[in-house]
Structure 1
Amino acid sequence: MAQGAIKKVVLAYSGGLDTSVILKWLQEHYGCEVVTFTADIGQGEELEPARAKAQRAGVKEIYIEDLREEFVRDFVFPMFRANTLYEGEYLLGTSIARPLIAKRLVEIAAETGADAIAHGATGKGNDQVRFELTAYALNPEIRVIAPWREWELTSREKLMAYAERHGIAIEMKRDGNRSPYSMDANLLHISYEGDELEDPWVEPDPRMWRWTVAPEQAPDQSATIEIAFERGDPVAIDSKRLSPDELLAQLNRIGGANGIGRADIVENRYVGMKSRGCYETPGGTILLKAHRAIESITLDREAAHLKDELMPRYASLIYNGYWFSPERRMLQAAIDETQQRVNGVVRLKLYKGNVMVVGRKSDQSLFDPRIATFEDDAGAYQQADATGFIRLNALRLRVGARRGRI
């Protein structure tokens, strides 16, 4: 896009090195007015300094918003109704945050009359795809500026030099305190990439982890909690009702103290490369176990199995940035229909990195002890019926065997 083509742009802004440089670069390269948007989705950082930095850069319209409850209620919880895991391990902490941020970028662009939005995602990663697919799904005419795909500032050293030339103040911590990793945090997780993690054989430095104690250092006494569910969503811990964001934050604290939620994964990025990432998702790890437990007594067998078959596709849609796609909405409608009777309480024991289900109950349980018992079932189940059931299901196997095909 040529200079002058953009009059005003909304920038996803953290106030760190990358987005501070991007703010100035947009002003310089496009000659446009910049609106900054900073979202609080539970990253645990003070966000008001971003306002002062933006003001010093001449920004007149500054948005800093607390989106924690919306993030958990409208994005995290719907995803957990599907028991979502990408490639069997990743709880999608970064992936699920991007559609919310991009949605607000588009909304703020409409509110302020901006021509475009801008983000700081690199041309190698998944986030550029997630931001932009969301933006185009919500406003097909929106223009998107991705500086990392345009400029020549391709290293931290070049970014620092640009900041120095333009008088951009960057708070630098001493090397001993600055994390060497590329990190992303929100209420669901914190992620780590880069530095020695780029060698998948190297074990992470124990000092890297921030939310969880090492399982070896977790308490020697287990912790027991109860999580109540309504229509597939957690609503209370130990009988105390909490808002979605408060509930997840509480599970993060409990799980982290018991060494729960660490993961070391090599995943397949949508852009085609393999990437190693380490994650801490203590509350999410507990929720996944608890949700599957309450479903085990409230969901019909075939509905549960079909959900498990659909889940990998659903997970890929979220990972690849298709939260606002027709197919994700279609799958969500089917998943949500299964959750109407997923109500009850799960009791869990947490011990040194492990989450163990030790009880589950529901007024709508499909578990019938009269049928399941190993004792006399008083005629609730006719065991002789199993003979015909087995013979019918064995018919094709017997025919095949007679023909020498098995």
Structure 2
Amino acid sequence: MHKNALKQKPISLSVNQAGFYSMTTILKHLPAGQRIGIAFSGGLDTSAALLWMRQKGAVPYAYTANLGQPDEDDYDAIPRRAMEYGAENARLIDCRKQLVAEGIAAIQCGAFHNTTGGLTYFNTTPLGRAVTGTMLVAAMKEDGVNIWGDGSTYKGNDIERFYRYGLLTNAELQIYKPWLDTDFIDELGGRHEMSEFMIACGFDYKMSVEKAYSTDS
């Protein structure tokens, strides 16, 4: 994503359980001194966000969803990396059984394939987001963490998905998204800046600076 595209004015609304937008649920700036749960994939966005939040005075808790992605060699290593980047605690949540159940239900209901613009859209990522959103927020609630952040940008579907699923699980949830925080965007507004930030902090991040995108299995 181009850096300038991320420097547009971010939205400041959130959505509650009934589907109405609220001005109180979303936090526009980092709540220093408070616990923040971050959906931690170990990718560049969430790694840089976690490290940045810790440096700015927040208390990040990392939660990683194991959905059985074939391109992840060692799930147990992800929480360890989160701890290295400054997480107060890091947990790996096994979401595979629930993902299978939701996938079977979608197939039985004929909801696995959607059509958008005349093209077939496999309902895989949305199902994964539903499972991730509900199960990670449930784990956060167990730990007394009621602020949730993740690496989704405000220009995609994920930010809306995570809002809704998170609030369905914890009605008291507040949302802090680094990509809605102008301070974060001004400092780390692109993948190049995030990679350089990680390197400057002493972390030899595995993704090259030149790679301008991430993948989702």
CA offsets, 1:350-374, max 9 Å, x none?
xxxxxxxxxxxxxxxxxxxxxxxxx
State the distance in 2 between where 1:135 and 1:24 align: 23
- Partner residue, 2:65: 39
CA distance in structure 2 between the aligned counterparts of 1:64 and 1:142, rounded to whole angstroms: 20
2:190 counterpart of 1:159: no
Superposed CA offset, 1:77-125 (max 9, x none): 1111121222261121111111111112221221111130111111111
Does the residue aligned with 1:183 lie in a helix, a strand or coil? coil
Q: Does 1:147 align with 2:175?
A: no
| Compared CA separation, residues 16 and 92, structure 1 to 2 (3 A) | same
Q: Compute the RMSD of aligned alpha carbons.
A: 2.2
Q: Give the corresponding residue for 1:227.
A: none
Report how far residue 174 of structure 1 moved: 10
Larger Cα-atom Rg? 1
The aligned residue for residue 184 of structure 1 is 216
Distance 1:173 1:158 in 2: 12
Question: Is this contact kept in 2: 1:10–1:108, CA < 8 A?
Answer: no
Amino acid at match of 1:33: V
Q: CA deviation at 1:6?
A: 5.7
Matched, 1:65 2:93: yes
Instruction: Give the deviation of 1:173 after TM superposition.
Output: 5.8
Q: 1:104 aligns with which of 120, 130, 135?
A: 135
Distance 1:181 1:14, change over 3 A: same
User: Could you say what secondary structure the match of 1:148 adopts?
Assistant: helix
Query: Which one-letter code corresponds to 1:183 in the other structure?
Result: T
If asked which structure has higher relative contact order (CA below 8 Å, sep 6+), I would say 2
Q: Is the 8 A contact 1:26 1:32 kept in 2?
A: yes
1:181/1:8 Cα in 2 relative to 1: closer, same or farther (>3 Å)?
Answer: closer
Q: Report the CA distance shift for 1:4/1:95 in structure 2 as closer, same or farther (over 3 A).
A: closer
Q: Report deviation, 1:71.
A: 0.8
How many residue pairs are counted as aligned between the two chains?
180
Q: Distance in 2 between matches of 1:68 and 1:14?
A: 15
CA distance in 2, matches of 1:105, 1:144: 14
| Equivalent pair of 2:32/2:59 in contact (CA under 8 Å) | no
Q: Distance in 1 between matches of 2:68 and 2:30?
A: 36
The alpha-carbon distance between structure 1 residues 131 and 3, as it changes in their structure 2 partners (threshold 3 A), is: closer
Question: What is the match of residue 13 of structure 1?
Answer: 40
Q: Counterpart of 1:49? A: 77
Gaps of 5+ in 2: 1-26
In the alignment, does 2:109 pair up with 1:78? no
Q: Is the 8 A contact 1:123 1:149 kept in 2?
A: yes
Partner of 1:353: none
Alignment CA distance shift 1:58-1:155 (3 Å): closer
Instruction: Identify unmatched segments of 5+ residues in structure 1.
Output: 186-406
User: In 2, distance between residues paired with 1:100 and 1:159?
Assistant: 28
Distance 2:50 2:105 in 1: 34
SS at match of 2:126: coil
Q: Distance in 1 between matches of 2:105 and 2:76?
A: 30
Question: Which ranges of 4 or more aligned residues in structure 1 deviate by more than 6 Å?
Answer: none
